Structure 1
């Protein structure tokens, strides 16, 4: 491709990362308004979980589709799915349609988030140039996460929550157009037969398992148990099948590398813990302090800013400290945030909330670069690409599972609060998280309702704290230096 073509395709990949970054934080400021408008506080965890579920089951499939029809067509198709999902979410008038549209968006995001890194590997042969481009992609994501809370808060307060999804449509269509016009892919290499059975097993297995987890406390125990057991059985069959397939969906051989397993475990526990802070910090401000969506979203801005700082200071520090020390530093930063929120009283003002959340942003940015480099080194040059892709999938899975778990924790606490306090209903708690809707609630019951919500938030933060303590222990086990 010519220099202009490469530049335009790179811009298309940057736009894809901008949309991914925007959605990762803009949705958090819109959730209170969405659940108030669509009456679905019991589905609050699903809003995050079903997006991550779509990403989880589709990521390995998109990679294999790219091998068959080419990364160009696959990238454009994933963008189209993301745009359509955004459109349908904005048009949703009930929570069920909204969640279906969000699942479609998640499927698109699975390809939109992973394919640019694979495309960059083919477009940029020079390692230094490729590293520079990957830096641009990461920076685009980080900057979008900073802008997301501001844009989301403004759109929700000035227009409506629907516009946090409509904003993706022009960005996505521009990215598709740039790829259509400027991306000229080389000859598609022949690959072994597509693993249809493996794809079926992992998609259905993960879906059943995660549905079972999300339904904890919401339906009969035997239904939950059946879903989880069926999901686990299918995943076991998946791993048995993949071991003998010439073109596996997930390269099982990666799990025989002890160092890589350690890296993956650290990604799982740290990303699962960070999700709690990133999702529930704005809701704390809106539900407990009665702030607007804009102000609630601003609690994440310091977090996102220092995330960028964390990614920049890793390389200078690597020359002075070993991996175990550096990873411990990052994990402790996230721990300060989760433990601080777990201990914070209900009356904690918004400035302290933002300061407490800042530590987790630095820790996550720091750990991401460190672990991503470590994954590639531990995998060796031969397996660097599949290991990088697998680490992306594992991070999504960790967040998918923990989004479901956090949703269950909150649902159980809310149900307990309704049962113990006469006069308070789930519909009233639906309105609590949105400042405008909360004005219609009985003022005498607001302290009790906020106490119920606060207890749920605290339990979520204690769960995140436990994950980080485990991660620190795993760091000492797998990283001797």
Structure 2
């Protein structure tokens, strides 16, 4: 008797894998002060987060191509195995440098898990079922953002920070056995075409130089390193295009870039994912720096976004059955636009409970929009390019977050640097750091503190003005997409 895929068990496995990689981003945040205290190296602390995102993004399109070429199952298992290896090495790390290297390995594994998981879902379920399953899968991200900080704090306080990484090892090994046994994949015909190594390497170099350039730009402004990295990005991009035109089996078929629906929907994912970073980074800063609330309140006001996102994902699945994806995406973007506009018009002394409401509104919009962009990116390409299309959608979101968090940082820093001299602060560059830390804000003279809060508030308004422009651009992109199929495409 021919074995068949056990959809329920494989789907549960995908949910667990998604949750495992999603929570890794939030659980580390809580543990980082303890880790820095024990391993030292505060000056390179940010690389613990950055290197994970960098290697993740770098490998995502390569895994997408491999999933189409050799199959979803071996690539997914290889990604989990690499993630488990990286997690174990993180747990054994005895210095900040070894932790950063181990996080790089962990990110290489994570780069396979998310896009290939979404591709497996697309393989197993038809359009109507897929929207519901994607809604459930997106719930893993929402739950992880709420549970991650709590779990991180509990683990650090009880069994030690090493276990925020070690806990992934038994889970990952269990997932490997589960996927190996219950996911049955038809044997693919052996593809005689050579792997596009030149295209793959040039694409990875393009992404590394681009993301690294924008990260340094956000940290230090325009420097010679930034200029060199962005010039290298242009050079590697040209090499990538040259290689793809001549490759037997290109890592990304350049015809995808001529697929208007595909490019526009990924443009939407890029823009709204970029704005999401403005919410994650700057709403807590608003709570602490402008309203003088604790860090706990700063994080708590973001909880409705994560929780309502889950509801929005489920709702998108229901709406996609009844109306075109274009309409669902437009509704989601209008909701996000409303939330962004609300942030833009809030006065400086707004009560913090208003942010809970705005956060929930934004969560609804994101739940509708992100799920729809994923479904539409998959629907706009042939079945044999599903892996590449899904990974490209994931990559678009990652690049959007990396690029826009740097741009938001520049907007904020320029505004602060321009306004500080007007309140008599010239030789204290650390003054704004004192302001946004509830423990040190009280050390600032009250009159000056109020002036600094106004400067920070104006900077936040500029950030959210840029964010609103991003969402409006995303809405325009949605309107530009033609109706390709009658029922399930934009």
Q: TM-score, normalised by structure 1?
A: 0.81
Aligned equivalent of 1:424, options 419, 422, 428: 428
CA contact (8 A) 1:331 1:471 kept: yes
Give the Cα separation in 1 of the matches to 2:388 and 2:398: 15
Taking structure 1 as reference, are residues 375 and 7 closer, same or farther at Cα in structure 2, changes over 3 Å only?
A: closer
Give 2:474's aligned residue: 471
Q: Which residue of 2 aligns with 1:13?
A: 14
Q: How does 1:283-432 map to 2 (within 5 A)?
A: 283-318=285-320, 322-381=324-383, 383-413=385-415, 421-422=425-426, 424-426=428-430, 429-430=432-433, 432=435
Please tell me the root mean square deviation across aligned C-alpha atoms, in Å: 4.2
Q: Which residue of 2 aligns with 1:107?
A: 108
Question: Alpha carbons of 1:418 and 1:19: their partners in 2 closer, same or farther (altered >3 Å)?
Answer: farther
Pairs within 5 Å for 1:57-456: 57-65=58-66, 71-72=72-73, 74-83=75-84, 102-120=103-121, 124=124, 127-128=125-126, 132=129, 135-136=132-133, 138-153=135-150, 155-156=152-153, 159=156, 166-180=163-177, 183-184=180-181, 187=187, 190-191=190-191, 192-216=193-217, 218=220, 221-318=223-320, 322-381=324-383, 383-413=385-415, 421-422=425-426, 424-426=428-430, 429-430=432-433, 432-435=435-438, 437-438=439-440, 441-442=443-444, 444=446, 446-456=449-459
- Say which SS state the counterpart of residue 428 (structure 2) adopts: coil
**Aligned-residue offset at 1:330:** 1.3
The whole-number CA distance in structure 2 between the counterparts of 1:365 and 1:278 is 15
Q: Provide the TM-score with structure 2 as the length reference.
A: 0.79
CA 1:438–1:101: 2 relative to 1, 3 Å: farther
Q: Where does the alignment leave 5 or more consecutive residues of structure 2 unmatched?
A: 484-489
1:326–1:67: structure 2 CA closer, same or farther, 3 Å change rule?
closer
Residue-by-residue CA offset, 1:418-442 (whole Å, 9 max, x unaligned): 776146343x54465454x537844
Residues of 1 paired with 2:256 and 2:87: CA distance? 35
- Residues 68, 387 of structure 2: 8 Å contact kept: no
Q: CA deviation at 1:90?
A: 7.5
The 2-side partners of 1:93 and 1:451 are apart by 43
Give the number of aligned pairs: 474
Q: Give 2:57's aligned residue.
A: 56
Deviations 1:212-243, CA, capped at 9 Å, x for gaps: 22223726644322211121121122022112
Deviation sequence 1:349-400 (CA, Å, 0-9, x none): 3211121122221111112233333333332545444333322222222222
**How far apart are the structure 2 equivalents of 1:96 and 1:425?**
28
Deviates more, 1:132-141 or 1:221-230: 132-141
| Residue pair 2:19, 2:144 contacting (<8 A) in 1 also | no
Q: Deviations over 1:138-182 (max 9, x none)?
A: 424424423523541574499579978843531453132331366
Work out the CA distance in 1 between the residues paired with 2:363 and 2:227.
36
Whether the 8 Å contact between 1:409 and 1:459 is mirrored in structure 2 is: yes
Match of 1:462 among 460, 465, 483: 465
When structure 1 is superposed on structure 2, of 5-14 and 226-235 the one drifting more is 5-14
Tell me if structure 2 keeps the 8 A contact 1:157–1:292: no
CA contact (8 A) 2:31 2:156 kept: no
Compared CA separation, residues 26 and 287, structure 1 to 2 (3 A): farther
In structure 2, do the counterparts of structure 1 residues 4 and 210 end up closer, same or farther at CA, with 3 Å as the change threshold? Answer: closer
Once structures 1 and 2 are overlaid, which stretch shifts more, 96-105 or 469-478?
A: 96-105
C-alpha distance 95-249 of structure 1, shift in aligned 2 (>3 A): same
Q: Tell me, yes or no, if the aligned pair for 2:63 and 2:75 is still in contact at 8 Å.
A: yes
Distance, in Å, in 1 between the alignment partners of 2:453 and 2:93 is: 28
How far off its partner does 1:23 sit?
4.1
Alpha-carbon distance, 1:60 to partner: 1.6
The question of whether the paired residues in 1 share the 8 Å contact of 2:28 and 2:164 is answered with: no
Deviation of the 1:4 alpha carbon: 9.8
The answer for unaligned runs of 5 or more in structure 1 is none
